Amino acid sequence: MINLETHFEVENFRVNHRNLTFLCELVLKEYSDFENGNISIIFSNNSHLNKLKIDHFNEDVLTDVITFVYEKEIEKIELEIYISVEMAIENAQENNVSFNNELKRLVVHGILHAIDYNDQDEESQKIMYKLQEEIVKKSSGQIIHE
């Protein structure tokens, strides 16, 4: 069972909790051994994610998603995913996709990092992005109320 919490550091932003939970469960149940988990998704802004990058990774860069894993046990995981809504909007426009689909990509991307996928080199990036797109296609529901 997945326990999903959402937190909002941006105004006028609502999620479809049921569809977002389904997306998280899809990733964990089909692509990992984790049957149970606590996931917190924080919808934030560029400056907060930049501060997190500086404080935790010593990198002064803008990023769209950051994942922190707090617990990994047999079949159970606990994590936080921070998403920059500002960056998601920019990414969606730049990549000519809907804001909803871009947010799905970021959620999936964050969870994939938590279950040990990485995008540090070109080869692992191709694998992770291909998997990310497969998962997004499997999830047809809206995760936000636009």
Q: Which helix (H) or strand (E) holds 2?
A: strand 2-8
The token pair at 90 is 């920019």
> What does the pLDDT read at residue 116?
93
State the Cα–Cα distance between residues 78 and 68, nearest whole angstrom: 9
Q: Could you tell me the two tokens for 145?
A: 């109320």
- Of all residues in the chain, the percent with pLDDT exceeding 70 is 99
SS3 sequence of 81-126: EEEEHHHHHHHHHHHCCCHHHHHHHHHHHHHHHHCCCCCCCHHHHH
Amino acid at residue number 60: D
pLDDT on residue 44: 97
Per residue in 37-86, pLDDT (tens digit) is 999 999 999 999 999 999 999 999 999 999 999 999 988 999 999 999 99
Domains and CATH numbers, the chain: 2-138 (3.40.390.30)
- Neighbour-count burial for 7-46, b at 16+ CB within 10 Å, e otherwise: eeeeeeeebeeebbbbbbbbbbeebbebeebbbbbbbbee
* pTM listed for this prediction: 0.95
